[in-house]
Amino acid sequence: MNKKLIAVLICLVMLSAVMLSACGNKFKQNPVSVDGVSNDTVAEGNYGRAVKLGKYLYFVNGVVSVDVDNTFGKPEKSAIWRVTLADDGSIISDSRVRIVPKNVLDSSSKPSIYIYKGWIYYATPNLELTTAGEPNTTRLDFMRTTIDGAKTEVITTITSRSANYMFANGYLVYNLNNALYSVDCESKKTTTIIDKNLSTTLFVMDEDGGAFAGYVLYLKTPSDDVQYKNYNELVAVSVDGKTSKTVLTNTSYTSDLADTKNIFQFGLLDYKVEADGLTLFYTKANVLGGSSTQTAGTYCYKFRSADFAFDAAKEAHLSNTALSGIIPISYSEGVLVTGTNVVYQYKAAQNVVAKTVLEGSFKVCFVLDGKVYYSESSSPKNLYAFELDKVGTGAVAEKIFKAESIGTTGITMEVVDGYVYYVDGGTYKYLYRARLSGSDVELVGKMTAEDVKAIEDAKNK
């Protein structure tokens, strides 16, 4: 081999090394210190925009448009940041640090993060250029970053920003085009769990990581049935796709297939993870043959373990009508349904539905520890609460806090360690919080220099 050829080969090897290094450094940044936290530390508030891990609070700083520049290292406003909390829960000043410099949201602008065994899991828009040279408008990246920010990986990319998804136990599961997929976040291998006949799905997001964490409940239409075309089945499957069980089918209430009054179509509404099980809320409709159905009502059932054993005798009947827009409370307390200025409570074995009239139109934000928390439905600025057991007997509301504005579109309130977190509904849309026991609101994260200047300019006009 002559010297010229050797020189060329050496140059090629060096060029390859540089290119590989550049690829490997695509998401590289310096780590931040992490004290008193291990891979076994359990996160509090998973599946929200604010998650507590030991003495740290990881959070999505604010909300931006889905098409904002998402080059790694540039995002600030909708990036994941971290603050250190004092023993009393207050934010230690000057502890704010950016951990994930990516825009964390999908097309619904509903960011959520999940922390598990030293990794932060999240979704972020993929804006890589199309063949036409335009930023992509449909692709969504699922990624993870270590809690110290040092290492970032792409898990997989899908072609929809509106797909339902969930991270759990080191896996990602998502519903795309009526197919359910599972991805091992370590190996990045994708498995198809079910590829047809899939309709409604419920992802069990158990933030405490209990027995039901990572299960998906979904409805499917049996493909081999002719006589009873109108019944469907409820299936429970684990996030890795390895454990699956048909929970409800045409023989769950009767062994006689001619007994059409006890063969049903099911409709999934919501669920509630409780200390002693998982309560599922659903509707049923009788199969009368052909395409005709008759509403049987709204029900709930508490599964005591992840084997999803069902006993029809223990099913609770909440209403003779098919309810919608429910706020689930528990198996014993049932659900809330709201009207323009009325809140109704539907409970099992209750002859009269409890009813409370509130002043003005409102929106129930959450139910916690025996209290119903709500705000105005239009241009909300206040959070109020009343005792759940006073529904129907003259509930008296108390004001928890007042804000400049509370976001509504795609925004939900979250409670973590005694604080309620929300995004402001004004121009700038940053994350704020207040004590649930009552306190002034405070900015959690850090405003961009651009927004700070805009606020100052507005004041000086």
Secondary structure (3-state) at 50: strand
Low-confidence ranges of the chain (pLDDT < 50): 8-9, 13, 15-24
Q: What is the reported pLDDT for 439? A: 80
Phi, psi of 195 (to 5 degrees): -115, 5
Output the DSSP codes for 212-274. TTTEEEEEE--SS-STTTT--EEEEEETTSS-EEEEE-TTSS-S-TT-GGG-EEEEEEEEEEE
Secondary structure (3-state) at 8: helix
461: its two tokens = 């006009």
Give me the residue label for tokens 């991805």: 183
CA 330 to each of CA 299, 324, 436: distance values in angstroms, whole numbers, following the listed order: 12, 16, 21
Q: What is the reported pLDDT for 412? A: 80
Q: What is the reported pLDDT for 4? A: 57
pLDDT by residue (tens digit) across 208-236? 889 999 999 999 988 765 555 678 999 99
Distance CA 324, CA 327 (A): 9
Show me where the domains of the chain are located: 32-162+403-461
Q: What is the reported pLDDT for 258? A: 86
Closest by alpha carbon to 150, among 23, 20, 34? 34
Q: What is the reported pLDDT for 16? A: 47
